[in-house]
Amino acid sequence: MVVLEVLRLYPIMVFVSRQTLQNLKLGNIEIPKGFNIWLWLLELHFDPKFWGPDVEKFNPERFANGISRACKSSEAYIPLCIGAQVCPGRSLAKTELQVLFAIILSNLSLIILDS
């Protein structure tokens, strides 16, 4: 959960680009073939419409029941790119982050105060 939330707040890539393969019409907007479209991932990862009012708060618990329950659209969570440009080492990277986090926690000492 912590790794997923860190990747939401600090994604590896902050934008993704795609090029249209054909002419498109979205509502009243016409997009020609070969047009470059840029998607700013931080806009998705910080949109209260998808993540709720606490979008800027570090809250790993939002992923307690998986990505599909963390936000209103699982397509709004793109920490390691999508499509043909998806990070080939994404599974290894997530595992390494979990191992690193476990090592840090295993070396942590907690003291309970009386007050």
Between 55 and 39, where is the model more confident? 55
Question: pLDDT value at position 24?
Answer: 92
In this prediction, residue 82 carries a pLDDT of: 62
Q: Which residues, at least 6 apart from 58, have a Cβ–Cβ distance to it below 8 Å? A: 5, 9
pLDDT of res. 7: 87
Q: What angle do CA 39, 13, 80 make, to 5 degrees?
A: 95
pLDDT band at 54 (very low <50, low <70, confident <90, very high): very high
What is the predicted pLDDT for the residue at 28? 94
- Cut 0.95: pTM above it: no
**Residue 39 belongs to what H/E stretch?**
strand 36-40
Q: How many residues does the chain have?
A: 115
What is the rounded average pLDDT of the residues 76-80? 80
- 9 versus 82: the higher-pLDDT residue is 9
How many CB atoms within 10 Å of residue 77?
20
- Residue spans of the domains in the chain: they are 2-106
Q: In this structure, what token pair is assigned to residue 78?
A: 């793109």
Q: What is the DSSP letter of 34?
A: T
For 8-17, 26-35, 45-54, 59-68, which range has the lowest pLDDT when averaged over its residues? 8-17
Residue 81 counted as an annotated binding residue: no
